[in-house]
Amino acid sequence: MQSIDQFNFSGKKAFVRVDFNVPVDENFAITDDTRIRAAMPTLKKILADGGSLILASHMGRPKKNPDPKYSLRVIVDHVSKLLGVPVQFAPDCMGDATAAMAAALKPGEALLLENLRFYAEEEGKPRGEFATEEEKAAAKKVVKESQKEFTAKLAAYADCYVNDAFGTAHRAHASTALIAKHFDAENKMFGYLMEKEVLAVEKIMTDTARPFTAIMGGSKVSSKIEIIENLLTKVDNLIIAGGMTYTFTKALGGEVGNSICETDKLDLALELLEKGKKNGVNIVLAVDAKIADAFSNDANTKFVKVGSIPEGWEGLDIGPETEKNFAEVIKNSKTILWNGPTGVFEFDNFTSGSRAVGNAIVEATKNGAFSLVGGGDSVACVNKFGIADQVSYVSTGGGALLEAIEGRVLPGIEAIRGY
Ligand code: AMP
């Protein structure tokens, strides 16, 4: 497989799929430029080699073409500033004018294409309402057909293809996967960001140092079933935390009061516990909880055994004994995956459990463990606690990371690797 570090971009035009889907406020000012900054090492390497950049991204979920609310024009100045060269803007990602702009690019120059998703062909999904499933299927066939031409036109702008958008690696879209077919193996590669994400996931899922501990938190077990099932074939220890604690507690006959609990998932919780036992996985459940008499930071609180939560009270975080148990397991691990907080960490009075987990991960990492934090709220946690730089890797790809942990092959990775 081609590596970006080994590739010399001198005199080459690179089509780089980036994730510039940044949040903007009502005046279209960027409120968080993390994703743009994350792509800079790749983009700067290409320019420094003497290559030119054709930057392509989506933004939001436009429903028509053009959809000014989702124009990438608003980020051009900021990208230029970070890149240190003026970035040209193509107000349409298709068309002869854009093809001419791409053709005229000189070494060291950069061109940003307008939002790829202005075209339904990017996602390959038909737009609008359909009266019947047949009509929808027919429309989908039409888009899938025109997607081929759309993809070929994007590919024709460049000599090589770089995918640095891990956040969309789980989508088989024109610019994230299909386009790769238009380039030989030696002319397509991951960007630095994507490479780091892929390596981190592989270290967790295939090249695993043991013991391997996963901490699954968050609100509901129903949204994490596939991940838990796959992890039960991989991990030595599975720590269950967050709101899903109470579904397991209730399934085991405990009283959970008003805690968040999916009563239709009690059998599933028991099945998961059974599967863990069969696979020799040590499933670690909470033994105590910090409960509150309202879903509020200012509620009255107390600590109780996890299966003895009175009516009118709800568990909003784990208790001190559970913190100790979790920390013990984490500190003895060599590979750690953390997805989801142990409680309602958005309320300052219910951050203690998540903080204890974060600190234990930091300690294990110092002692040589590989730790990956990813998938939504646990990333917010490590940022809130100021420990993001003390774990091995914080993933930028929410949905993509979760699908990788579910054991799925991501189309964006497959397209480059060719397996
Ligand atoms: P998820 O998106 O599934 O990872 O869930 C994250 C959310 O779960 C966060 O907003 C937390 O506030 C919430 N959460 C964690 N523990 C609890 C709990 N015990 N009760 C209610 N919500 C919780």
Share of the chain above pLDDT 70, in %: 100
Share of the chain above pLDDT 90, in %: 91
Residue 374 Cβ < 6 Å to ligand 1: no
Residue 319 Cβ < 6 Å to ligand 1: no
Is the pLDDT assigned to residue 128 strictly greater than 70? yes
Overall average pLDDT of the 211-234 stretch:
93
Look up tokens 């699908």; give the residue.
403
Tokens representing residue 269 in the block:
């919780």
Give pLDDT, residue 418. Answer: 80
Q: Which atom of ligand 1 lies nearest, measured to the CA of 347?
A: 12
Nearest CA to ligand 1 atom 2: 218
Q: What is the pLDDT of residues 383-412, one digit of tens each?
A: 999 999 999 999 988 889 989 998 889 999
Overall average pLDDT of the 115-124 stretch:
97
Cα of 219 vs centre of ligand 1, distance in Å, is: 4
Write down the mean pLDDT value for the chain: 96
Residue 419 binned pLDDT confidence (cut-offs 50, 70, 90): low
- Segments of the chain assigned to CATH 3.40.50.1260: 13-196, 208-405
**Beta pairing, strands 308-309 & 282-284:** unpaired
Cα of 341 vs centre of ligand 1, distance in Å, is: 7
Residue 315 Cβ < 6 Å to ligand 1: yes
Q: Which atom of ligand 1 lies nearest, measured to the CA of 259?
A: 20
Is the pLDDT assigned to residue 197 strictly greater than 70? yes
Residue 316 Cβ < 6 Å to ligand 1: yes
Cα of 345 vs centre of ligand 1, distance in Å, is: 8
Region for residue 28 given its phi and psi (left: phi exceeds 0; alpha: psi -120 to 50; beta: otherwise): left
Give pLDDT, residue 375. Answer: 79
DSSP assignments along 242-282, one per residue: GGGHHHHHHHTT-EETTS---GGGHHHHHHHHHHHHHTT-E
Is the pLDDT assigned to residue 282 strictly greater than 90? yes
The angle that helices 34-49 and 76-83 make with each other, rounded to 10 degrees, is 50
Cα of 182 vs centre of ligand 1, distance in Å, is: 43
Residue 242 Cβ < 6 Å to ligand 1: yes
**Class in CATH terms, 208-405:** alpha beta
User: What backbone torsions phi and psi does residue 6 show, to the nearest 5 degrees?
Assistant: -85, -15
Is the pLDDT assigned to residue 376 strictly greater than 80? no
Q: What is the pLDDT of residues 131-187, one digit of tens each?
A: 999 999 999 999 999 999 999 999 999 999 999 999 999 999 999 999 999 999 999
Overall average pLDDT of the 12-25 stretch:
96
Look at residue 91 and give its three-state secondary structure: coil
Residue 1 binned pLDDT confidence (cut-offs 50, 70, 90): confident
User: Is residue 379 within a helix (H) or strand (E), and if so which, with residue range?
Assistant: helix 377-384
Q: Which atom of ligand 1 lies nearest, measured to the CA of 220?
A: 3
CA distance to 23, 190, 407, per residue, from 413 (Å):
25, 8, 13
Nearest CA to ligand 1 atom 20: 243
Q: Show which residues are catalytic.
A: 35, 220, 376, 399
Give pLDDT, residue 366. Answer: 98
Cα of first residue to Cα of last residue in the chain, in angstroms, is 11
Nearest CA to ligand 1 atom 1: 218
Q: Give the closest residue to 292 by CA, choosing from 280, 304, 281.
A: 304
- Looking at 3.30.70.120, 3.30.930.10, 3.40.50.1260, 2.60.40.1260, the CATH number of the domain 13-196 comes to 3.40.50.1260
What gap in Å lies between CA 325 and CA 417, rounded to an integer? 41
Q: Among 225, 344, 346, 395, which is best to mutate for testing ligand 1, by the most ligand atoms less than 8 A from CB?
A: 344
Tokens representing residue 131 in the block:
């009266």
Residue 370 binned pLDDT confidence (cut-offs 50, 70, 90): very high
Residue 262 binned pLDDT confidence (cut-offs 50, 70, 90): very high
